[in-house]
């Protein structure tokens, strides 16, 4: 029998996309704002989240999921903020996908939360393909990494909603060219908001907190109409 | 604008290959899911894949990873053919199949 060609037209990542869509629905129904943070190793994701969780502590109910190849180090650092933190060790897998998030959330009451942070393992390649169903994706890059990062990893900058420039307190020491970075981001993702911060001095965190507060407000479920008898 | 890691940069090279291996495993799963609707005894000869420049996937690394990912699967022996597409496309366009009975 002759070979036959069967037309398929199927997205390779359909399974993850479906799982991500289911998670997104679950997050929406629970009224929780889900923020994922991606970057290359050493950009300061954990420090950024430490400061974020500490600043949010008095006003919001927060939690975090942390993905790493091995160890509980990051989770332990974040737990000091008092927020519940769950570590996902991915073993040899380089990213968190929707199914891993689903498993990690097992049994957690999402409606009790205002904001859930997902720290993805350090890499700028995979999370661009495997979205975990977040509502806001933040890509971090530190001033020590060089201004050309957006040109080298355009996919992650394309898939993220906002770029946060970390370790801005070191900018002068490393001769960081802020204008060049903005130009490079504009080239790969025109109009992308860029937020310079220092997790150590909390510089820039008031803008970041304002942005998160708006997102948390947006994530609140519509109030259910109250029927009054008589 | 290649994402290929420079020589000597083992860390990012590893990350990249792992990424394509993950994609390859997803691809093998996605093809295997099609098997039931293709008939009882069918063998996949070729997988036609379309990849856009913004998919974030290196075609060379994926072709290599596909061989490994498919070797121990129901579609072992299938060849991967990659075609350029637009945007973020990462889709199986078509499968070339033969009914296994014909091989006997």
**Domains defined for chain A, CATH in brackets:** 15-21+30-218 (3.40.50.300)
CB-CB under 8 Å, B45 with A3? yes
> What CATH code is carried by the domain that includes residue B73?
3.30.2320.50
Range of the domain at B60: 10-103
Residue pLDDT, tens place only, A48-90: 999 999 999 999 999 999 887 777 888 889 999 889 998 887 7
Q: What is the pLDDT of residue B92?
A: 95
Query: Average per-residue pLDDT in chain B?
Result: 81
Beta carbon pairs, A and B, within 8 Å: 98
In a domain, B89, yes or no: yes
Q: Locate the chain B residue with the closest alpha carbon to A122.
A: B15
**Distance (Å, whole) CA B71 – CA B76:** 5
Between A187 and A2, the more confident residue is: A187
Please give the ipTM for the structure prediction: 0.74
Question: Domains in chain B: how many in total?
Answer: 1
pLDDT digits (tens, 9 = 90+) for A3-32: 899 999 999 888 888 888 888 888 999 999
Give the predicted TM-score (pTM) of the model.
0.77
Q: What is the DSSP string of A50-97?
A: HHHHHHHTTT--EEEEEEESS-SHHHHHHHTTTS-EEEEE-TT--S--
Q: Kindly determine whether residue B94 and residue A95, on different chains, have CB atoms separated by under 8 Å.
A: no
What does the pLDDT look like over A165-221, one tens digit per residue? 999 999 999 999 999 999 999 999 999 999 999 999 999 999 999 999 999 998 887
Residue A49 φ/ψ, nearest 5 degrees: -70, -35
The answer to whether B98 faces chain A, any CB pair under 8 Å, is yes
Angle subtended by helix axes B10-38 and A14-30, to nearest 10: 100
Residue B16: its chain A contacts at CB < 8 A? 125
Q: Does B1 map to a domain?
A: no
Residues of A in contact with B34 (CB under 8 A): 6, 8, 10
- Would residue B71 count as lying in a domain? yes
Element (H, E) at B32: helix B10-38
Q: Distance (Å) from the C-alpha of residue B84 to the closest C-alpha of chain A? A: 14
**Nearest CA-CA distance, residue B79 and chain A, Å:** 14
In a domain, B2, yes or no: no
- Among B14, B18, B101, the strongest candidate for a mutation testing the A interface, having the largest count of A CBs within 10 A, is B18
Is residue B78 in some structural domain? Answer: yes
pLDDT at A171: 96
| Model confidence at B102: pLDDT above 80 | no
């Amino acid at each position: 029998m002759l070979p036959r060609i069967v037309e398929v037209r199927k997205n390779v990542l359909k399974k993850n996309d479906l799982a991500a869509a289911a998670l997104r629905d679950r997050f929406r129904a629970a009224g929780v704002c889900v923020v994922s943070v991606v970057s290359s190793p050493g950009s300061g994701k954990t420090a950024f989240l430490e400061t974020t969780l500490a600043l949010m502590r008095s006003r919001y109910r927060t939690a975090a999921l942390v993905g790493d190849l091995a160890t509980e180090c990051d989770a332990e650092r974040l737990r000091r903020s008092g927020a519940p933190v769950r570590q996902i060790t991915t073993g040899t897998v380089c990213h968190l996908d929707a199914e891993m998030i689903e498993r990690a959330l097992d049994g957690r009451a999402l409606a009790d939360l205002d904001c859930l942070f997902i720290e993805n393992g350090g890499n700028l390649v995979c999370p661009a393909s495997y979205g975990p169903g977040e509502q806001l994706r933040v890509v971090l890059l530190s001033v020590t990494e060089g201004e050309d990062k957006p040109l080298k990893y355009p996919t992650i900058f394309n898939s993220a909603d906002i770029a946060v420039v970390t370790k801005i307190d070191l900018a002068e020491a490393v001769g960081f060219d802020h204008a060049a970075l903005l130009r490079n981001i504009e080239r790969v993702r025109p109009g992308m908001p860029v937020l310079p911060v220092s997790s150590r001095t909390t510089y820039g965190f008031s803008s970041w907190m304002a942005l998160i507060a708006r997102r948390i407000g947006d994530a609140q479920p519509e109030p259910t109409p109250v029927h009054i008898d008589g | 604008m290649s994402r290929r890691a420079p020589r000597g940069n083992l860390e990012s090279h590893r990350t990249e290959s792992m990424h394509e291996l993950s994609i390859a495993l997803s691809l093998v799963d996605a093809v295997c899911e099609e098997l039931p609707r293709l008939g009882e005894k069918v063998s996949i000869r070729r997988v036609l894949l379309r990849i856009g420049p913004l998919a974030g996937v290196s075609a060379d690394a994926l072709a290599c990873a596909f061989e490994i990912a498919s070797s121990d699967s129901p579609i072992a022996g299938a060849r991967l053919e990659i075609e350029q597409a637009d945007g973020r496309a990462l889709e199986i366009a078509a499968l070339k199949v033969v009914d296994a009975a014909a091989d006997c």
